[in-house]
Structure 1
Amino acid sequence: MAELPLRDRVGNVLVDIRFTAESELASFDDRSMPLSLVVVGLADAVLMMLNGLRGYWELPGGLREPGESPRQAAIRELAEETGIRTTALDLAAVVEFELVRPARHEYAAVYRTDLKAVPRLVVNDEASDFQWWIPHTPPAVDMSPIDAEIGRRVLELS
């Protein structure tokens, strides 16, 4: 496991990851926690998607829409980005970031779902490819080290 804080190639920092109960999310509004991520586990692997706009592998997830809860955003983003349609998500963690473009401090809800079989994944505007990454192996240079560390910790520790 990498030590925190962990910085990516553009200067974003993963400050902390806390394993917590969903009731803790009530203390965050959609400005302080605008993002939900999903760790999709299959055996000992984590699903990573290639974000064509950013050019690197990352976890499925994205921004909350107005009035949307972190859970609702995770369910919607997972379906939009991968084609996986499920409501069987468990809150795994809250992560804390220092982001650079624009400079801001924010949190994300991280959910986990475990699959029994390889799903049919759908390439789309947001995800141009998919891979199953084994967390005990080093992330590739084109993989977000922040997302890799979140995926590793959620799969191995939650």
Structure 2
Amino acid sequence: MAALPIRDRAGNALADLRFITEEELARLVEQVPVPASLVVVSHADAVLMMFDSWRKQWELPGGTREPGETTRQAAVRELREETGIHVVDLTFAAVAEFDLTKPERRELLAVYRVHLQVVPRLTVNDEALDFRWWPPSEPVSEDMSPLDAEIARRVVHSSTT
């Protein structure tokens, strides 16, 4: 695993990934905005990455919370919208801390995980142009978000230790 912080080509940084409980996340959300959720979907020894149509890179499924939505509800909805996977029993994994550039801000994202026994049928759509199963033991390609890859590596590693 890489030492944090790590940066992507736009200058955004993954500053920290904290493995806390969901109760701690709920208290954190009361103090600091947590505007989005990510989901680490694993099967066998690989993690699901989607090719984002807007950012033109491989990344984890996830996205912005809608008004009144919890981080968990956002994770479930975004996973369904971006991949076609209908899973409600996600496990809270961690909170990721980012230093973002456009606009410049510090942001926290809730990270959930789910391990699938069977490869799901995935749905290409306006947001996700393609999917791949990436083994976290492999190098990060130029067209992959190094921030999301590092989150995936750390979440997968934490669930095996």
Aligning the two structures, in what range does the TM-score lie when normalised by the shorter sequence?
Answer: over 0.9
Residue in structure 1 matched with residue 41 of structure 2 by the alignment: 40
Per-residue deviation, 1:31? 6.5
Residue in structure 1 matched with residue 94 of structure 2 by the alignment: 93
1:64 paired with 2:65, answer yes
- Runs (4 or more) in structure 1 with deviation over 2 Å come to none
1:18/1:94 contact within 8 Å kept? yes
1:25 paired with 2:42, answer no
Write out per-residue CA displacement over residues 100-156 of structure 1, whole angstroms, 9 at most, x where no aligned residue: 011111100000000001100000000000000000110110000000000111011
Residue identity matched to 1:32 = P
Matched-pair identity in %: 61
Please report the RMSD computed on the Cα atoms of aligned residues, expressed in angstroms: 1.1
Residue in structure 1 matched with residue 153 of structure 2 by the alignment: 152
Residue in structure 2 matched with residue 135 of structure 1 by the alignment: 136
Residue in structure 1 matched with residue 108 of structure 2 by the alignment: 107
Write out per-residue CA displacement over residues 46-68 of structure 1, whole angstroms, 9 at most, x where no aligned residue: 00000011110000000000000
Aligned residue runs from structure 1 range 112-123, under 5 A: 112-123=113-124
State TM-score, norm by structure 2: 0.95
Q: Matched residue of 2:15: which SS?
A: strand
Question: What count of residue pairs does the alignment treat as equivalent?
Answer: 158
Residue identity matched to 2:23 = S
Residue identity matched to 1:16 = D
Q: Matched residue of 1:113: which SS?
A: strand
State TM-score, norm by structure 1: 0.97
- Structure 2 unaligned spans of 5+: none
Write out per-residue CA displacement over residues 65-104 of structure 1, whole angstroms, 9 at most, x where no aligned residue: 0000000000000000000001110000001000001111
1:30/1:64 contact within 8 Å kept? no
